[in-house]
Structure 1
């Protein structure tokens, strides 16, 4: 979850949120889509639709339908109102089907219970976890995610080799992931149970300082990876779980790169430049180091410095120029993003059509939309 979506909560608390750095998703009515910023002919869009039928598209990081709000406890008043609106997975899954998305990360949010919205800083840690609370929250969220599969809304995926069968099922694939490793409480021993739950990737950090490091958004901090963090990295390697460095400070990320024997990813971010910098972006140096190790950078359609879907395409090409086409994937942060310019999976054919129109070859477009992620996921599972 990069930042909560731009759709602003109506009613109680709206005025307070209006000045905050984060918007909040309203479930009352779907707003109009973010502007395209370009024109596609009917033929060009049809090409995008046909391309997605022939090539699997996979989202490296998302919160489809905001399952993480269901059953959340201990929330502050504004997030209580937000959570009370409920989740909306069928709507987003319907968008996936209409847009031609093959599969997506369905990410739990490990620290949601202890976060709050700050006008100045956005999402921040409000309080410490109570004893056992983080693990209990994880188990509640995982049960809710698994229910999506048992209810027949999605098809759970445990390996990239299942992609063809998932597409044939007609139900989008769901890759269970968790944003924030807070629920581990620094214990690598819990990972075996987590893997048995079907979790295949963990974003080690989110917005709370945990036993692994501090988040990249903690002002003035670039903490190293802890000894507990090193043990967690090694155990994730052993189990074949894909390590996600999004939200992690660069010194800690570099240590992960030193000790991992599998490729890793920054699932949703962008590169800082002289023209645009943000605490959630990473340096070109660390991006190239991840690429050199065989890993991925997920192109993030957050409305930081861009306001149209065309701006997201610009961002994708910038990443390709920086690290090469083999090392860029799609990481939308769907239903958990800040002012997203790609805010509806129904617009995926527009994005595919635009990338092709702007000269990205069909093999390269297939790599970006899903092929790279499936390859790296598979490499993370090899023993």
Structure 2
């Protein structure tokens, strides 16, 4: 989940007051689209569309329709306003179908109840969880996510080998994931129930310091992985669950790499360079270390240092140059991102067309859009069953 700005929430509050008579769902107007930053002919776009029909595109990290806000409790005033705007899963799923997306992560947000907005730092921990609150919030969110499937909006994707059958349903595949392992309370024993719920990936840390580690900070946090975190990593390995290190400081991430015997991923990030640095980016060295384990870096279309979809394409090529095409996937943070430059799944054919136009071969593009994620996921499952 990306940064929610104070300005965005205050703007939503004004809209809420103005639109109360029409119901909160009328407030979910589609935001102004980010610029493309390039020209694409009809033929080049058609090539992107044909490519996506032939190869499954899978988003490693997303919050389609912001399901995580439904039923959230204990929120501070500004996030109450944000949540009161409601959810919009139907619109995003429709965009998936129109754009040709095969599947996506549908991520719960484990620490949402205890966050607040800081003018200086964006989302930060505001309070501690009450006893049992984190687990109760997780159960509410996973129930809401699974209802999207029972209502016929999506088809659950619980294993990579199911992708063909899921595509045949005509509905997008939904991979249940959780951003933040706070709901585990430091206990690896709860992972079995989460796995039984259908959860297939967990981001170990989000914006709250939990029993595993702390989140990324501007100060170059050198927090490491706790003993409880090491147990959770090992149990996720055993269950064949994908470990996501997005939001984790580098020292802790390197400890995960030392403990895990399965590939891991940073589902949505970028690499720091001499020209552009940010606390949510990671060093090129760490990215290469993740790749050396067979893992993945998710190309993140946050508007940090880029302003259009062409900039996202630049970012994808930078990552492939840094770690190799086998270790890059798409991690959009859709509907939870900060100033996204890829903000609508209907633009997927344009992104595919642009990458192909700029010289990415179709086999390589197939790896980026979904092949790498499905392969790494399958490797974790096979290894975990041995």
Aligned to 1:345: 345
CA 1:162–1:180 in structure 2 vs 1: closer, same or farther (change >3 Å)? same
**Alpha-carbon distance between aligned partners in 2 of 1:297 and 1:173, rounded to the nearest angstrom:** 21
Aligned to 1:324: 324
Cα offset, 1:259, TM superposition = 1.2
Q: Secondary structure at the match of 1:186?
A: coil
* Structure 1: segments with no counterpart, 5+ residues: 16-24
Aligned to 1:74: 74
Cα offset, 1:101, TM superposition = 0.1
Equivalent residue runs for 1:362-377 within 5 Å: 362-377=362-377
**Alpha-carbon distance between aligned partners in 2 of 1:261 and 1:26, rounded to the nearest angstrom:** 48
Aligned to 1:166: 166
Aligned to 2:3: 3
CA 1:54–1:207 in structure 2 vs 1: closer, same or farther (change >3 Å)? same
CA 1:276–1:159 in structure 2 vs 1: closer, same or farther (change >3 Å)? same
Aligned to 2:189: 189
**Alpha-carbon distance between aligned partners in 1 of 2:160 and 2:108, rounded to the nearest angstrom:** 20
**Alpha-carbon distance between aligned partners in 2 of 1:27 and 1:281, rounded to the nearest angstrom:** 32
Equivalent residue runs for 1:130-141 within 5 Å: 130-141=130-141
Aligned to 2:275: 275
CA 1:224–1:47 in structure 2 vs 1: closer, same or farther (change >3 Å)? same
Cα offset, 1:219, TM superposition = 3.4
Deviations along 1:299-335, one digit per CA (max 9) or x if unpaired, are 0000000000000000000000000000000000000
Aligned to 1:19: none
Aligned to 1:21: none
CA 1:6–1:352 in structure 2 vs 1: closer, same or farther (change >3 Å)? farther
Contact 2:195 2:239 in 1 (8 A): yes
**Alpha-carbon distance between aligned partners in 2 of 1:128 and 1:26, rounded to the nearest angstrom:** 34
Cα offset, 1:10, TM superposition = 6.2
Deviations along 1:164-188, one digit per CA (max 9) or x if unpaired, are 0011100000000000000001000
Contact 2:203 2:245 in 1 (8 A): yes
Aligned to 1:284: 284
**Alpha-carbon distance between aligned partners in 1 of 2:14 and 2:131, rounded to the nearest angstrom:** 32
Tell me the matched-pair count.
374
**Alpha-carbon distance between aligned partners in 1 of 2:216 and 2:349, rounded to the nearest angstrom:** 33
Cα offset, 1:68, TM superposition = 0.1
**Would you tell me which structure has more helix in proportion to its own residues?**
2
**Alpha-carbon distance between aligned partners in 1 of 2:308 and 2:11, rounded to the nearest angstrom:** 28
CA root-mean-square deviation = 1.6
Aligned to 1:241: 241
Equivalent residue runs for 1:32-111 within 5 Å: 32-111=32-111
Cα offset, 1:296, TM superposition = 0.1
Aligned to 1:294: 294
CA 1:148–1:12 in structure 2 vs 1: closer, same or farther (change >3 Å)? closer
Cα offset, 1:29, TM superposition = 1.4
Deviations along 1:306-365, one digit per CA (max 9) or x if unpaired, are 000000000000000000000000000000000000000000000000000000000000
* Structure 2: segments with no counterpart, 5+ residues: 16-24
Aligned to 1:314: 314
**Alpha-carbon distance between aligned partners in 2 of 1:223 and 1:27, rounded to the nearest angstrom:** 41
